[in-house]
């Protein structure tokens, strides 16, 4: 998803650098549809990240209370899944923020 987001950002930046004969209202309309799509994707990843984070914290609590070595492995597994989810979410968040800035640039062209 982040690859698709980066490709789309490059595509819009090329359109902004392009000629003045572009129908900016149409570009803005299509751009806002894409923003909605990426916002939805970001929300889904936020919910997944929060779920893994809460699961990790709950398992850590159970591990501390019972101090079972098997649960330590489960904690490590959840942590190894949680860290990439966090980085992926922040990459999506930063990409959507970039889309908002591009939206303003398109509005200035209208």
Measured distance CA(83)–CA(27) in Å, rounded: 36
Give the pLDDT confidence of 13-23 residue by residue, as tens digits: 998 888 677 88
Enter the DSSP assignment of 23.
-
Give the pLDDT confidence of 94-103 residue by residue, as tens digits: 999 999 999 9
Predicted model pTM = 0.81
Give the pLDDT confidence of 29-64 residue by residue, as tens digits: 999 999 999 999 999 999 999 999 999 999 999 999
Angle between helices 69-109 and 24-66 (to 10 degrees): 160
Cβ-based neighbours of 35, under 8 Å, separated by 6 or more: 96, 99, 100, 103
Cβ-based neighbours of 42, under 8 Å, separated by 6 or more: 89, 92, 93, 96
pLDDT above 80 for 74: yes
Compute and round to an integer the Cα radius of gyration of the chain. 20
Q: In a 3-state reduction of DSSP, which class is residue 110?
A: coil
């Amino acid at each position: 998803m982040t690859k698709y987001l980066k490709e789309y950002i490059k595509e819009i930046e090329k359109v902004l650098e392009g000629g003045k004969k572009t129908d900016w209202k149409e570009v803005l309309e299509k751009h806002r549809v894409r923003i909605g799509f990426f916002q939805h994707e970001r929300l889904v990843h936020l919910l997944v990240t929060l779920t893994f984070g809460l699961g990790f914290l709950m398992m850590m609590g159970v591990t501390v209370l019972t101090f079972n070595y098997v649960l330590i492995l489960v904690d490590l597994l959840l942590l190894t899944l949680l860290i990439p989810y966090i980085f992926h979410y922040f990459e999506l968040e930063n990409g959507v923020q970039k889309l908002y800035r591009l939206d303003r640039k398109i509005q200035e062209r209208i």
